[in-house]
Amino acid sequence: MELLSSTKTHAGWLKRYRHKSTSVKGDMTFAVYLPPQAETQRVPVLYWLSGLTCTDENFIQKAGAFRKAAELGLAIVCPDTSPRGTDYPNEHESYDFGSGAGFYINATVEPYSGTYHMYDYVVDELPRLVEEHFPITEKRSISGHSMGGHGALICALKNPNRYQSVSAFAPIANPTQCPWGEKAFTGYLGNDKTTWEEWDATCLVKNLIGQLQQGLPLFIDQGESDDFLDEQLKPQALEAACEEVGQPITLRRQAGYDHSYFFISSFIEEHLEFHFNALS
């Protein structure tokens, strides 16, 4: 790994690294916050997945999470949102597909099938790397925002024994039924919509209920003044699916809040406490 930067904050260290990834077959960048407790012991970790157009830096600069993470003794790992350094047709032409928009799935349509395996990267490769090189335990939780909220939900629902807890801010909760998801899934997975369902949290809740008896609750905050709420996010579909099959979910509708990091920073400490309690 190549250390890109190291910054002390709240008595801990925020570090950014670049490394060669086998999942995406190229360089990937991630950030890790190590709380002060990590100097003397191993600490649990929260993986944060960011949204469309973002990199690993959006959360670390805007969320205001490190004071609480330092208090709790919680590490935070923030990967990038897509592979970088490729130049496929249409990859850089829009904000909601290609560069910065990996959707945390494993693409099956060429040329994206060669490198756009963000699901494998987030679930398997990055945790192995982090646990090998940093004083971090194997207890992990996952969270994210928008496209990253979608990513956090599918990672946890597909691997209920791998994560202690999962939360999301304004997730794309039913991507098979919204313009963002339809565009991305067509480009990454093809036109057979039956293959899309394994990457949709609402569909997964319905299809994986036999495996969801582990009791992994879903914790979601959604701003009621979010411009994307009705057309793109559809939290009510996920809520209805959970109620139908008995999957625990807490969906908090926050009056007046939008889709921005102002919304995230207002409630991030509650999410960190939620995850730390589960990790403890």
Q: Residue 82 phi/psi, 5° resolution?
A: -165, 165
Name the phi and psi angles at 131, rounded to 5: -70, -25
Reported as type and span, the H/E element at residue 248 is: none
Q: Report the distance separating Cα 169 and Cα 148, nearest Å.
A: 9
Cα–Cα dist 46/65, whole Å: 11
Among 179, 180, 154, 156, which residue's Cα sits nearest to residue 166?
156
263, 199 Cβ separation under 8 angstroms:
no
Instruction: Write down the catalytic residue from 150, 259, 271, 275.
Output: 259
Nearest CA among 129, 96, 102, 120 for reference residue 19: 129
Closest CA to 259 of 62, 100, 31: 62
- Catalytic residue at 226? yes
Whether 227 is catalytic is no
Among 146, 165, 221, 275, the one annotated catalytic:
146
Instruction: Determine how many CB atoms are found less than 10 A away from the CB of residue 236.
Output: 16
Beta-bridged to residue 48, according to DSSP, are 143
Is 146 an annotated catalytic residue? yes
Would you call the peptide bond into 111 cis, given omega within 30 degrees of 0 as the criterion?
yes
| Residue among 141, 167, 226, 271 flagged as catalytic | 226
Where in the sequence numbering do the catalytic residues fall? 146, 226, 259
